[in-house]
Structure 1
Amino acid sequence: MSSQKEFKQQVRKLYHKLIAAFGIITISVFLFIYIALHPSAFKNSPEETSIIAVPEVDGKIENGIHLATGFVDGEGLTEVIQNCTNCHSAKLVTQNRMTEEGWVATIRWMQETQNLWDLGDQEELIVNYLATNYAPQKKGRREVLTDIEWYTLPAN
């Protein structure tokens, strides 16, 4: 009787292994068919995995603005994109306005505290680009007030 019990256990184990094998084969076939029908879903090209890549606007410039970043077009644009947007958004750059000295001081601060690499020969080009396109803006006087209804304050 024990041999019949052992035989049934072995048959059950074989049955479970066959079911598992059938499941693996079925999944493999479906995966193979999916890959065959959708090969682009499994490509791993640099253009598709880049952090700053925006396929429909990357590299395009309209009205003097680089569409992917919002940076002003000019000499040093590529270097600024390559060195600044690796760590933070372009918006962080465009919302700031500094002199050449201010940009250099900010770069030094990032190198000392934020692990910014040495910019080497590109630093002068980057600083010139930033100081030219993102310099402080002069603020003039406010506009003259017009259509104001003046009134007298009562005396205490």
Structure 2
Amino acid sequence: MGLRITLASREARPLLVSLLVSLLVGPVLFSPLGLAPAAAQDDGPATSAVASADEGPGIDPDSGFVMGEGWQTVKGNCTVCHSAALVTQNRGSRDHWAYLIDWMQETQGLWQFNPEMEDTILDYLSTYYGPRTDARRQNLPRHLMPPTAQASEPDSKD
């Protein structure tokens, strides 16, 4: 026994996909066992909703966005279709964020932005959610590496 949904128009499909993703992913993101919000990570910008000038911008308590230049534009455009957590848990270069915007416009029904607004969004995303340089652990020292087949074979000198 299964659920069958028939859509009358192609325009309704992105809405249905967004709804299904929200229903499936939302409980995981916001459950006690779900993903930690980006604001709680040590390697990101300041995590206080009220930050002093020394600490940099604070975090919007409603969305979790860093309250840097352009954050309200991002919040107003990105959270129309999906949760802010979908943005804050990701990182990417300006080119990566531009690719994602193009993809959403081509496949998900995202509207076209005027050039100034797109620049504001891309500047914000690449500044506050740019690539991480410290996301990978350091390599293990050689003496802590597990033995390999090559390392455990005796040297054969013929």
For Structure 1 versus Structure 2, the TM-score category normalised by the shorter chain is 0.5 to 0.7
Matched letter for residue 90 of structure 1: A
How many residues are paired up? 97
CA distance in 2, matches of 1:67, 1:143: 37
Q: 1:97 and 1:71 mapped to 2: Cα distance?
A: 13
- Residue in structure 1 matching 2:106, options 93, 108, 112: 112
CA deviation map 1:77-112 (0-9, x unaligned): 010000000000000000110100000000000000
**Offset of 1:119 from its aligned partner?**
1.4
**Normalising to structure 2: TM-score of the pair?**
0.52
In structure 2, which of residues 131, 137, 140 is the aligned counterpart of residue 136 of structure 1? 131
For normalisation by structure 1, the TM-score amounts to 0.52
Alignment of 1:6-85 (within 5 A): 61-63=49-51, 64-85=58-79
> Residue 28 of structure 1 corresponds to which residue in structure 2?
none
Whole-angstrom CA distance in 1 between matches of 2:49 and 2:69? 13
Q: Specify the alignment match of 1:124 in structure 2.
A: 119
Equivalent pairs: percent with the same residue? Answer: 44
Larger Rg: 1
| Distance in 2 between residues matched to 1:106 and 1:140, nearest whole Å | 23
Name structure 2 gaps, 5 residues minimum.
1-47, 52-57, 147-151, 154-158
Uncovered stretches (5+) of structure 1, i.e. residues with no partner:
1-59
Tell me the SS of whatever aligns to 2:76. Answer: helix
Shift of 1:61: 3.6
Q: 1:141 to 1:61 in 2, by over 3 A?
A: closer
Letter in 2 for 1:83: N
- Note the aligned Cα RMSD (angstroms): 3.1
SS at match of 1:62: coil
Higher RCO (Cα < 8 Å, 6 or more apart): 2
